[in-house]
Amino acid sequence: GRSNGTDGVTVYDAQIFSNALKLISMELDLHNALINQEFFLVYQPVVDTITRAVTGFEALIRWKNSQGKIISPTKFIPLAEETGLILQLGEWVLLEACSTLAEWRRTNPLFKNLKVNVNLSARQLSDLELTDIVSRILTKTNLPPECLRLEVTETMLMENPDYADITLRRLRALGVGLCIDDFGTGYSSLMYLQQFPISNLKIDRSFVNDMEKNPANYEIVKAVVALAHALGLTVVAEGVEEEEQRIMLLEAGCDFSQGYLFSRPIPPQEIPNIVSIMQAP
Ligand code: C2E
Ligand code: CA
Ligand code: CA
Ligand code: CA
């Protein structure tokens, strides 16, 4: 607190105290939410930029709290990460996403070649047991490993590149795909990029956003696509909201697209319908 003026001290400390209480209470809520099964996944289609056919989905977590309010992952993932709860939560996400795709594959031939992308957090990537967890879940759900893609950010990779490299190699050896998320926003080195056993780059939506108005961003998008292809990687653009953007991405040679133009993240029950509507011609 401030040393001059008693009122200042009181107000300042009360503010800190109240914020801390909010965090602690949310931490408790998060823990209970896991027990009470208040988390659920929504799925956003990833489509072929040219044909708009669905090629897979990204699983995105949501929390419906005890008051019925839906809370964004941007609010609670950082807290779950901080408290370590993310390990349990992340395992739940993996199991839920894999069993959902496995179930679709059993009941619907249109899902034969579709993939599910799951976001990993930094703690999960540095968990020594990650590969065993993923392997166990694939066996349990009977999902072919190539149907699962794990998304990691550049920042997560660069925090401890040697360690990340070992973990990614183990995951790759299982047969799962690896994708660098939010590409372009972090600091990454080309040397590592070609060294990591990744299969896919996802261009951050901040570049896609204003590509039409900002020629520099379109140049970046084109350069990322060229770079990815030169390294033998496929590219997904995220945050595609306008048809004009899809055309620009198509011209840039971007393989896959994801965004509100095609579909918002939707509950699993709505996915089979979207897949059948958006098929390869
Ligand atoms: P992300 O991995 O970059 O996910 C993409 C975010 O962009 C999602 O937000 C998605 O709803 C949103 N989005 C998709 N298309 C568009 C579009 O056309 N325009 C705009 N403006 N936004 C679009 P969401 O679902 O709120 O997730 C936010 C972040 O939370 C994710 O960013 C990811 O970092 C994290 N997250 C979500 N689910 C999980 C999870 O299961 N585990 C972990 N570790 N993190 C997760
Ligand atoms: Ca992602
Ligand atoms: Ca992203
Ligand atoms: Ca992000």
Q: Is 97 in the pocket of ligand 1 (CB under 6 A)?
A: no
Predicted local confidence at residue 8, as pLDDT: 58
Separation of alpha carbons 152 and 201, rounded Å: 10
Among 27-31, 44-48, 60-64, 181-185, where is mean pLDDT lowest? 27-31
pTM beyond 0.95, yes or no: no
Mean pLDDT value across residues 218-223: 95
Q: Is 188 in the pocket of ligand 1 (CB under 6 A)?
A: no
Separation of alpha carbons 222 and 20, rounded Å: 45
Listed in sequence order, the DSSP H helices in the chain are 6-35, 73-83, 86-107, 122-125, 130-141, 154-159, 161-174, 190-195, 205-209, 215-230, 243-252, 271-277
For residue 259, how far is its CA from the centre of ligand 2 (angstroms)? 12
Question: Above 0.85 for ipTM, yes or no?
Answer: yes
Predicted local confidence at residue 22, as pLDDT: 78
pLDDT digit string (tens) for 146-174? 999 999 999 999 888 888 999 999 999 99
Q: Three-state secondary structure along 135-172?
A: HHHHHHHCCCHHHEEEEEEHHHHHHCHHHHHHHHHHHH
Mean pLDDT value across residues 235-258: 98
Phi/psi for 118 (5° steps) reads -125, 135
Residue 1 pLDDT more than 50?
no
Among 52-56, 208-212, 247-251, 270-274, where is mean pLDDT lowest? 208-212
Core vs surface per residue 40-67: b (16+ CB within 10 A) or e? ebbbbbbbebbebebbbbbbbbbbebee
Predicted local confidence at residue 191, as pLDDT: 74
Predicted local confidence at residue 9, as pLDDT: 58
Mean pLDDT value across residues 1-13: 57
Name which residue sits closest to atom 45 of ligand 1, judged by CA: 119
Q: Is 259 in the pocket of ligand 1 (CB under 6 A)?
A: yes
Separation of alpha carbons 228 and 2, rounded Å: 52
Instruction: Give the closest ligand to the alpha carbon of residue 117.
Output: 2
Q: Is 239 in the pocket of ligand 1 (CB under 6 A)?
A: yes
